[in-house]
Amino acid sequence: MNRFFPPRPENLFIMRARSGVVAFYAFAIIGALLLGESAFRGRWDVVFSALPWTLLVLWVLYMTALQPYIGYTDRVVVVYNILRRHEFPWSAVSKMTDHHQFVFMLREGAPIKAWGGPVGGRPRGNGFGSMKPVDRTKATPLDHLSEVWQEGRGKSMGKGATTTWNTPALLLGLVLVIWALLTIA
């Protein structure tokens, strides 16, 4: 795997949305149960025709919901989005926001949006049209990252981000699409 990506920094703390983990494993369990039930009944034609589609949905869920994350150490940030990985030092960050996703504004280059990080609380309705205010006394993920950013700016050097593509995942997705299309041909 190190042929395709730079080595992961030591002591990398990973933040990811819990909903993606739940969605991936829930579908994996449901898919395994349905395929297992067909295999138990001896319907191997159903198993072999549904297997590539099940794996393709699992691949999409993995790429969009489970794999994206924000990782950080005291010196570097790693943002893993769908099919791409960005790595940059804390000193390269000029501002961070989290409206619907984390956005790292860099001193040089385009902003980097993190699709897989957790978000702070949003106002929620009670079903009758009124909104409950968000409890701002709790620390949000942005508050936590801001603290690490303030401490890490002096420890890291560099101004830009390095971006790499997840070539093995892209090739696996292509193989799964071709396999799935062959089952209907």
Domain extent at residue 98: 13-17+68-121+138-184
Q: Indicate whether 23 belongs to any domain.
A: no
Q: Indicate whether 160 belongs to any domain.
A: yes
What tens digit of pLDDT does each residue of 92-123 get?
888 888 777 888 888 888 889 888 777 655 55
Higher-scoring residue by pLDDT: 171, 148: 171
Q: Indicate whether 90 belongs to any domain.
A: yes
Domain count, the chain: 1
Q: Indicate whether 161 belongs to any domain.
A: yes
Average confidence (pLDDT) over 12-21: 83
Q: CA-CA distance, 75 to 155, in Å (whole number)?
A: 6
Question: If DSSP codes are grouped into helix, strand and coil, which group holds residue 115?
Answer: coil
Buried b / exposed e along 9-41 (16+ C-beta atoms within 10 A): eeeeeebbbeebeeebeebbeebeeebeebeee
